[in-house]
Amino acid sequence: MLCAVCCVCRTNNKPQFFRSSLLPLLCNSLLSLSFHLVTVKEIHTANISIANMSGRGYYNNNMGATPQQNTRPENAEAQARELLSISQPKEALELLTNVLGNRRHKTWSQLHENLMKLHLDICVDLRLSRELKDGLHQYRNLCQQQAPNSLEAVIMHLLDLVEKLPCDASTDPNAYTKSDSYDHPALRLTQTLVPPTDELAKNIRFVSEAHRSILDILKSHSKLSHVYHNTADLALSFLAENGRHSDVKRLCEYLRSHLINVQRYGAKAAGSNDSKSMRNWDGWTNESLGAAVQTKLTVLKLCQKLKIPSEIYRTLEDIHSLRKLGHKLQLTTLASGSKFVKEYHFILASVCLVNKDYFIVGLLLAKLLDAELAESDAQRNHEYISQLANTLTLCTICSPLKPTSRQIKLIHLIHDLVKLDLVDEISQKYIQYCEDGVRELYNVVYSNGGNGFLQSDFSSLLKNIESTNVMDFKHAEQPNFQTQLKVTLATKHMKILSKFYSVVKISSLFSKFGGDISPENLERIMIEVGRVDWRNDSLRFAPPSNKNWIVDLAKSLSKVQLESKPNLKTSFFDEIKASLVDENKAAVSRKNIIEREKEESERKQMEEAMEEAAKKEAEDAKRKEEEKRRLAIEEKKRELVSVGFDYIASIICI
């Protein structure tokens, strides 16, 4: 072609035009054409080699389809492993993804499970969380109706893989070792500020994302609910072991959103298959509800161990909603006396103990003690029963006699705790299991009508219970009853004093309680009980309020009416009648005197007003007269001045 163009140009005698413009353009066209020919030949050769590898014939009409789309499941595993053998994991992952997502192969087979496991192996090796999540969703859509057990096997395989990843800082040679020594604060600051290595952080993030992906695909799958809850437990324990408190809070919120969705749409989805997201949900059963409650209990224990109070209260609300649902559906999972109920009440008692709600703690411990006493003698733990009884009795002494409205509404315990007065219950059932010091204190406080309480020595009573064996609340604040008992005993002592005395010396109260209670607390107690008078060194108790005064008045009037009337002397009434006239005259005379005095005072006031007005008029007249004289003098002065000027002008004119 180049020779032909040269001949044409030479015949036309235009060699300069050929060299300047046409030759460069023609060379570029020929080079691009040769490049395209070589590229097409290479692509053709590559397609033929891949088609031969897959065992299929290659035809020219398949040039638009990629080899991965035409790969069958029975050949995909061998091709993927060949690609892995030549260090091409991303191409192998793409091949497996296309095969699993191909619509031509909608029927599940054991080959798909093997392909999915290989897919997970590659994703875990490359730390590809997004591709792992997409692959799980594809496989869930493929086998959730035909083979849910296969999905469980794949998930367990994934959990085994991520469990083997190095996520512990102690196994990382580049990580800083923790030291408990405070001799070198700069070293501890460096250990705190320096983050873990990139590989360790990448592994932790990948494992947590893998757990979230599993929870996401199983959140509404009834047949695999046990796998969901096991994964939730693994994820929570994994994050707690690695010190990811913020991630624990996010995961708890993530699990709570799943529970809310199931509670909101679960009943509707169980009756009809309209909701695609809930089509695998078969409704609440004993197993599913028990697993959900057990997971929430695990969350509660973990948050209590990590000291996350906000999540503790939210989890308590979730457990309460699940318990209401169980009672509504009449499920036997949450029956009274079960292991879950015992653990739940124990944790709830520790939470209420932090808030100093001793009344609620006593009610919860009473339920635990009832459950322990319901067992046979051979299965009873007598030491544990003694601890429960001691703690229950001390909490009852520390709490007020009647619960407040806040305590009754606290954590919605009204439906569960019916016994609101534990004094009689302790006297009848629980006091026999208490130690001697606790029993003596209880008898002094609630016996003998208060006389023994006033005469008792509080210091010795409190000293006797210092070594009392009480409950050990794990991962929570341990009960310290000494301070609260001192305040409670002082308050009760003053209330009993108010029944017998109206005024008490403050110095006597300080001498009795000054060594045990701080002055600030003692003053606060006195202000609550009565009126404090520091000047006279006295505490005045308010009289008891009688709300039924109308009833008492009616009763007293009825007694007066029934009593016999005494004989009255007529002379007494005659004397009164005789003195009426004199009393009337005296009253009239006093009235006349008062009227005269009023008239005299009014007259004097009028005269004074008239004198003031006359003085004011005279002063006004005098001021006007002076003003007139001044104006006349000013006028004369002006006239004299004008006459003088005229005289001077006339002289000048002459």
Same domain (yes/no): 386, 513: no
SS (H, E, C) 14-72: CHHHHHHHHHHHHHHHHHHHHHHHHHHHHHHHHHHHHHHHCCCCCCHHHCCCCCCCCCC
Say yes or no: 484 and 520 in one domain.
no
Looking at the domain assignment, is residue 25 inside a domain?
Answer: yes
What's the CATH code of the domain at 136?
1.25.40
| pLDDT tens string 405-432 | 655 555 444 445 545 567 777 877 888 8
Contacts by 182-190, CB closer than 8 A, 24 or more apart: none
| In the predicted structure, residue 547 carries a pLDDT above the cut 60 | no
Q: pTM for the complete prediction? A: 0.60
Q: Is the predicted pLDDT of residue 377 greater than 70, yes or no?
A: yes
Same domain for 350 and 434? yes
Asked if the structure places residue 551 within a domain, the reply is yes
Domain membership flag for residue 235: no
Same domain, 394 and 418: yes
Tell which of 538, 557, 576 closes a domain: 557
Q: How many domains does the chain have?
A: 4
Each residue's pLDDT tens digit, 268-309: 544 554 456 667 777 777 788 888 888 988 898 888 888 888
Whether residue 502 has pLDDT greater than 80: yes
Per-residue pLDDT tens over the stretch 168-194: 655 544 444 444 444 455 555 555 555
Q: Determine phi and psi for 80, rounding to 5 degrees.
A: -65, -40
Cα–Cα distance between 544 and 291 in angstroms, integer?
55
**What string of DSSP letters covers 256-294?**
HHHHHHHHHHHHHHHH-S--STTTT-----HHHHHHHHH
Closest among 344, 346, 348, 502 to 410, alpha carbons compared: 348
**Nearest-angstrom CA–CA distance, 493 and 631:** 94
Q: 65 or 264: whose pLDDT is higher?
A: 264
Give the residue numbers spanning the domain of 94: 67-171+197-217
Phi, psi dihedral angles at 465 (to 5 degrees): -105, 10
In a domain, 250, yes or no: no
Residue 109: inside a domain: yes
Q: Is residue 575 part of a domain?
A: no
| pLDDT bracket for residue 38 (50, 70, 90) | very low
Q: Which amino acid is at 642?
A: S
The whole-chain average pLDDT of the chain stands at 75
Residue with tokens 């005098």: 622
Selection from 119, 121, 122 nearest residue 142 by Cα: 119
Flag whether 118 is in a domain: yes
* CA distance readout (Å), 311 to 81, 88, 317, 364: 46, 45, 10, 21
The pLDDT tens digits of the residues spanning 454-487 come to 666 677 777 778 778 787 777 666 777 787 888 8
In terms of domains, do 105 and 137 share one?
yes
- β-partners of residue 9 are none
Kindly tell me the sign of the dihedral angle through the C-alpha atoms of 351, 353, 356, 362.
positive
The type of residue at 341 is: V
Q: How many residues does the chain have?
A: 654
Between the CA of residue 447 and those of 55, 423, 440, 450, what are the distances in Å?
A: 97, 11, 10, 7
Indicate the SS3 state at residue 219. coil
Which run of H or of E encompasses 533? Answer: strand 530-533
Is the residue at 648 inside a domain?
A: no
Decide if 397 contacts 485 (C-beta within 8 A).
yes
Domain boundary at 470, 496, 522, which?
496
- pLDDT band of 3, cuts 50, 70, 90: very low
Q: Are residues 367 and 443 in the same domain?
A: yes
Query: Which of 281, 267, 235 is CA-nearest to residue 254?
Result: 235
CA 555 – CA 38 distance, rounded (Å) = 121
- Range from 232-241, 257-266, 335-344, 435-444 carrying the lowest mean pLDDT: 335-344
- Same domain (yes/no): 72, 211: yes
- Please tell me whether residues 17 and 110 are part of one structural domain: no
For residues 115 and 97, membership in a common domain is answered with: yes
**Are residue 477 and residue 524 in the same domain, yes or no?**
no
Secondary structure of residue 452 in the 3-state scheme: helix
| Statement to judge: residues 345 and 465 lie in one domain | yes
Shared domain check, 540 and 483: no
* Ordered alpha helix ranges (H), 430-548: 436-446, 451-455, 458-464, 481-500, 506-513, 519-529
When mean pLDDT is compared over 138-142, 279-283, 607-611, the highest value belongs to 607-611
- Residue carrying structure tokens 């000291």: 307
Q: Report d(CA 523, CA 518) in Å as an integer.
A: 9
Distance (Å, rounded) from C-alpha 289 to C-alpha 328?
12
pLDDT tens, position by position, 229-252: 999 999 999 988 888 888 999 999
Q: What is the dihedral of CA 139, 142, 145, 146, to 10 degrees?
A: -100
